[in-house]
Structures are given as C-alpha cells and as structure tokens.
Amino acid sequence: MEAFLFIPCLVEHVLPQVGEATTAVLVRAGLTPVLPKGQTCCGQFAYKRGRADLVRPLARRFVEIFQDAPVVVCPSGSCTAMVRRYPSLFAKDDPFREQAAQVAAKTFELGQFLVERLGLTDLGARWDLTAALHGSCQTTRVLGAGSATEALLAKVAGLTLVPLARPERCCGFGGAFSIDYPEASEAIVAEKIDDIVASGAEAVITAEPSCLLNIASAMAKRDLPIKALHLAEVLAGEGI
C-alpha cells in the first residue's frame, strides 16, 4: 500500500530529519512512501490570522496534489488539523467543498494513522533513555490523537516515560502567538522547560514539529543537555 507524505514547511526547511524518520517508520510499517512534488504550506499561519481568503488557494492546490492518494500521512498534528478544516473554507454549494472533505478524511497525523488505521503500536523501535512526553495542543485537543502517541511510545523498548507536573500546558508557540506576544510565549515555554527539567528526563518527545522547535530552542538557550525528539525519530530507532 502506498502512503503519500505531506511534509510541513518546518520539517522541509528546518527539521528534515523528521521527514526522513517518518519515511523510515512508514517503510517499517510495510508501506511504500510517496512524496508528491509541488507541495506548499497548508496555510495554517494565515488561517490563524483570520485570512481564509489566503488559505483557499493553498487548500485547492493541496487537494489537487493529494486527491488520488489512497492515504495522506503527515508528521504534524497542527498541519493535519488545518487540512481537516479545509471543507469549512468553502460554501456549502461550492462543489470543491466535497472534494476537500474527501481529502481531509484520508489525511492523518503519523501516530494516529499507525494506531487507528493500521492497528500498529509496536514498530520494533528501541531507545535506552528516560523521556517526558509533550502532547501538543493540536495533536491532543484538536485531533484527539494523544492516546495514539502514548500507545506507540509505550511499545518502544528501553524507553521510560516520566510524567510532567503539568502535562496539559501549551509550550507557548501557537504559530502567530509567539510572534505577536513574544514575552508571553517565552514565559510559557520557560515553565514548560522547568517541568521537563524537574521530571529528570533525558529527552522530551513530541509529535508536533513546531513544539519541537520551540522547546529545543528554549533548552538550547539554557544550555541544557536534554534531547528534543519527534515521535517519528523515536519510532524509527537510533541511527537516523
């Protein structure tokens, strides 16, 4: 079975190792990854600024690229959530609304796809370390895929998950929020880092690239020896 990869902007330009790991995980799951050319931003940033007019052309392009895909897999909860919103961008009598709905229905965040569609939790991964899980707002509260992430990590050999004191807390990124309110964003992520340090974890794992980048940057500013890993990197095992 082919699985078409939807690669978010942050993964393509800043975190390419997440894209490589996602490909490796899909192969490990017995799938054939396909990377369509011509992908663009999903439009999430413009959407959160209330500019649906700017998102519609991106939605049309996304649907044109992926309409023939058997399934679309993305290593980002927030970008997947954006695609799920595409139908609502078009009027009820617009025939494109149904096309967008069909593509949205077959687009999944990586962990959600593996667990809920394939019924897989054990990918044969091994990481000998203690880690804390940061469940992103979009992956957990919007997509409802938090339990899938936890189920996958529970099967990683050698991995010990330790709880955060306030696991429901946002990391402070929030797309435009971190740009419009940088001081508030930095204060929020500072508390998240405090919780990670207090947990004693050697690493923090998340399924969301934007959270990964935000948390990793904040930890680097404190010169903390804590790894920041995407779910795909963990499932692909060491050596990626």
Query: pLDDT averaged over consecutive 10-residue blocks of the chain (240 residues)?
Result: 95 95 96 95 91 95 96 96 96 94 97 96 94 92 90 96 94 86 93 96 96 95 96 80
Residue 151: what pLDDT? 96
72 lies in which domain range?
2-116
Residue 238: what pLDDT? 63
CATH of the domain at 184: 3.40.50
Residue 139: what pLDDT? 87
Residue 240: what pLDDT? 40
Residue 123: what pLDDT? 93
State how far the alpha carbon of 220 is from the alpha carbons of 121, 127, 203, in Å: 31, 22, 13
Domain endpoint, select from 66, 94, 116: 116
Give the Cα separation of 163 and 8 in Å (integer). 28
Q: Which among 140, 19, 152 is positioned nearest to 77, based on CA atoms?
A: 140
Domain endpoint, select from 116, 133, 156: 116
- Whether this prediction's pTM lies above 0.85 is answered by yes
